[in-house]
Amino acid sequence: MIIKKSQWSKWLIVFFLMSFFTLFQMPISKYALGVAEKNTSTSIDQQITEIVNEVEGENLNSQNDKEAELEINHHDEEINVDSNEEGNDESSDGTNLEDIEESVIESDGEDSDEEDGTEEDSINKKKPVYLTIDDGPSIVSDQILDILASYEIQATFFVLEPRVRYYSDMVNRMNIEGHKLGVHGVTHDVKRFYASPESAVNEFNSTRYSLRELTGEEHYLARTPYGSCPYLSEEQEKTILQEGYKIWDWNVDSRDWYFRNERYVQFTISQLERLHQNGTIPVILIHELGTTARHLPLLIDYLLANDYEFIPLDLEGNPVRLR
């Protein structure tokens, strides 16, 4: 085949161009890759910075909520509670937060037309209330204890054994400041706790031993996970009582684990008013949650303004039981 001179020229030009791009392709690719890597690195750095800032700026109470509910499902079944839509400040019975606050203010400053003797008798006649706090100790224990100390009132803490060991300083503070301690088990698990009479007693004993090691005292107040009804069998109850424990349930369930806001206060107060009409001493159940601690002063203010006196549970009283 004969190649003309003009064709040779074209082939030389093509060869030259191919050589040129081959020589400069590598540096260009490396440069482009470097820019991409730099941009990617910058983007990742920015994301990390944003995440760190977000974590560092998180509200402590939000962290409290996550920690306090660790490995604890506060209820296994769906409940029927009129929780209302978010932003509605009215509870299922019509109680309103503003009404609660006004009630506190009026109770503190209202004048009475009664005679001096009758008024004095009314003031001195306090209504007992038991405030019981489950599932601690936890990262919010300090906050709850600070609140109780500021009001100079006592409560009863039903504690879980793993947390007793982990938050031993909180247990010691509870004990030193005059609060009562009760056992709440180890697993907070229905299947494991109620598996047999022995399993229930063993969980209580394990918690009691850990408390005794820290406080030097025996603690026989007890509360079973999720309450004694309907899970606790007659045989299990008999075995627990023979061991010396006194089982306390509650008659006012705040459902704080359900509402997760100030509405648990409204729900609690509506039950308190009904119990007062029946002459029943309230045993209030709340949990160690950040949202519970945040709104606890509102509940305490209401109780104190309405002549309630906080007293801790003891082994001498008649336990309240779920039916």
**pLDDT tens across 131-183, in order?**
999 999 999 999 999 999 999 999 999 999 999 999 999 999 999 999 999 99
Which residues, at least 6 apart from 14, have a Cβ–Cβ distance to it below 8 Å?
A: none
Is the CB of residue 297 less than 8 Å from the CB of residue 203? no
Q: Which amino acid is at 125?
A: K
CA distances from 247 to 73, 129, 204, 238, 289 (A): 21, 18, 11, 11, 23
Q: Mean pLDDT lowest for which of 31-45, 90-104, 207-221, 231-245?
A: 31-45
CA angle 159, 132, 144 (to 5 degrees): 80
pTM given for the model: 0.68
Cβ neighbours of residue 33 closer than 8 Å, sequence gap 6 or more: none
pLDDT > 70: percent of the chain: 62
The more confident residue out of 144 and 115 is 144
Average pLDDT over every residue of 186-199: 97
* Residue 26 vs residues 19, 30, 33, 123: alpha-carbon distances, Å: 12, 6, 10, 92
Judged by average pLDDT, the poorest of 65-79, 167-181, 275-289 is: 65-79
